[in-house]
Amino acid sequence: VFQGVRQAQWLTKTKLVEGLPPSVLSIVDNPAHQLEDQEEGVKRAISHARLWDTTEVAPRREHYCPVLFEDLMHLCRLMSVKYPSLAKRMLARNYKISATWERESILLQVRGLNGILMNSMAPIPPVASKEEILATEEHVLETFHPISPTIDLQEVNVYKELNDTGKSSSFRDGYPYSHPHTLFFLESANIRPNRFRPEQLRAKMLMFAFGNALAKAKVLYGNDPKVLEQPIVVQSVGTDGQLFQFMVFQLNTTDLVSSDGIKNLVWIDSDQNLYEKAQCIPEVKKRVVTKPAGIYGFQPDTFKKFLALYLHGTV
C-alpha cells in the first residue's frame, strides 16, 4: 500500500490519533494490572525466543518471532488468575476474513488469511466519547491528488460479496466467542524484502481491523449504511520480533460511500522496541569479550502496553 497509513485512512474513512487511547493508558499505568515479576518473566521470554530455543547457535526470525509471540501470550494468560473472565478468550489461528464496502463508488474488499485473531465473549466498550465522535465530522480526509487512492490495490472481480465473521466465511452462527478482540500480525519472514516495513504493516493492520469491525457491524446491525449507536472496537498488534505496533480502531459508521459525516477513529502507537539487541554469541575483539551474550536495551513499557491491550475490555 503506497502511502501507508494515510491511504488506508482514506479508504476506511478514518481519523488518526497518535498514541494509545486514555482507557488503555490507564490500564498501563495501573500497578494492579501487572504480573508478579513481570520484568523477569518478559526478559526470560525474550531470551528463550531469541537465544535458547534452538540447537543451532542463533534462531532465525521465522522461528523466534512466533515463539516470542507465544511466550508473551502465555504471560498474558497468566493474568487470568486475577481476572477469571479472561479465560473467556479464544485464539483462532489461520483465520480468514472477508469484508466488502463501497467508498465513493469504488468497491473495496478486504480478504485473506490475516494472522491470529483473539475473540472474546464480551465486546470492548467504545473508547472515544460521543463528543469526540461528533467532532470527527469536521475532520477532512486527506486525499493525495493526483494519486488515486486505490493505487497498489489488487483489482479482482468480485462475484460474491461475502461479508462475514458470522456467515459463510469464518465462524458459524452460535459461536460463543463472537466479538473480535485483537488481531496479531507476525512479520516473520527471514529476508527483509519479504517483510512489511513498519508503515505498510500499520496500514495492513488498519485495513484488517476495519474489515473485522465492519463484518461484525453488518452481522449485528444489518447491511444498511448508518452511524452506529454502539461503536465497535477492534484492536491490533503487529510485530517483527523486536518492533511492536499497537493500534486501537473504533468503527463509528458504516456509511462509507461519502467522504463527509462521522468518521471512524484509530489510535496508533508505532515503533515500540521491546529490546535493542539480542546477542547470541559473545562479541570478542582481540581475544577479549567486549559484549557477553544476552539481551540489551530492554524496555518494560512495551510489554505493559501489550498486556494493557490484552486486558482491555475486561478490567
Partner 1 sequence: MAASRGRRLLWHGRRWFSQTESAVPPRPPDSLYPPIVASATAKSKAAKRRRLEHFNQRVHAAASIEEKLRLYGQLQRPKYMLYPQTFALNADRWYRSFTKTVFVPGLPPRAALAAAKAPGAVAPEAAKTSEGPAGVAPEAAKAPEPGTAAPGAAKSPELAAGAAPYLDMGELRSLACDALLQESFYQNKKRPFLYRDQDHTPGPFLTQLVSTLAAFLCGRNPLLAASSLDLKPEVNYYWHHGEEVVVHGHRKGRVDPVRFQIDDNPHLQIRVPKQLPEIVPLESDLGDVPVIDHKPSKLPLFKKQYENKVFIGSKVADPCCYGHTQFHLIPDKLKRERFVRMNLEDQIEVLYRANGIASLFAWTAAQAMYQGFWNEADVTRPFVSQAVVTDGKYFAFFCYQLNTLALTVETIQNNPRKNICWGTDSKPLYDVVEDGSVKGFNDEVLLQLVRFLLNRPKDL
| Residue ranges that bind partner 1, judged by CB under 8 A | 44, 47-48, 51-55, 66-67, 70-71, 73-74, 77-78, 80-81, 86-87, 90-96, 168-172, 174-177
**Burial of 287 (C-beta count, 10 Å sphere; 0-12/13-18/19+):** exposed
- As measured in angstroms, the least distance from the Cβ of 243 to partner 1 is 22
Q: Which is nearer to partner 1, 6 or 179 (CB)?
A: 179
Q: Which is nearer to partner 1, 135 or 219 (CB)?
A: 219
- As measured in angstroms, the least distance from the Cβ of 139 to partner 1 is 37
- As measured in angstroms, the least distance from the Cβ of 100 to partner 1 is 17
- As measured in angstroms, the least distance from the Cβ of 286 to partner 1 is 23
Q: Which is nearer to partner 1, 44 or 103 (CB)?
A: 44
Q: Which is nearer to partner 1, 8 or 51 (CB)?
A: 51
Distance between CA atoms of residues 176 and 174, nearest Å: 6
Long-range contacts of 221-227 (CB under 8 A, 24+ apart): 221/254, 223/163, 224/254, 225/253, 225/254, 225/255, 225/256, 225/257, 226/253, 226/254, 226/255, 227/252, 227/253, 227/254, 227/255, 227/261, 227/262
Number of CB atoms found within 10 A of residue 227's CB: 12
Amino acid symbol at 175: Y
**What's the DSSP call for residue 50?**
I
Distance between CA atoms of residues 188 and 210, nearest Å: 23
- As measured in angstroms, the least distance from the Cβ of 264 to partner 1 is 27
Q: Which is nearer to partner 1, 44 or 111 (CB)?
A: 44
- As measured in angstroms, the least distance from the Cβ of 62 to partner 1 is 13
239 to 96, 198, 260: CA distances (angstroms): 19, 9, 33
Q: Which is nearer to partner 1, 79 or 268 (CB)?
A: 79
Q: What is the dihedral of CA 88, 171, 265, 101, to 10 degrees?
A: -170
End-to-end CA gap in the chain: 36
- As measured in angstroms, the least distance from the Cβ of 99 to partner 1 is 15
Q: Which is nearer to partner 1, 47 or 299 (CB)?
A: 47
Amino acid symbol at 128: A
β-pairing verdict for 288-291 and 179-186: unpaired
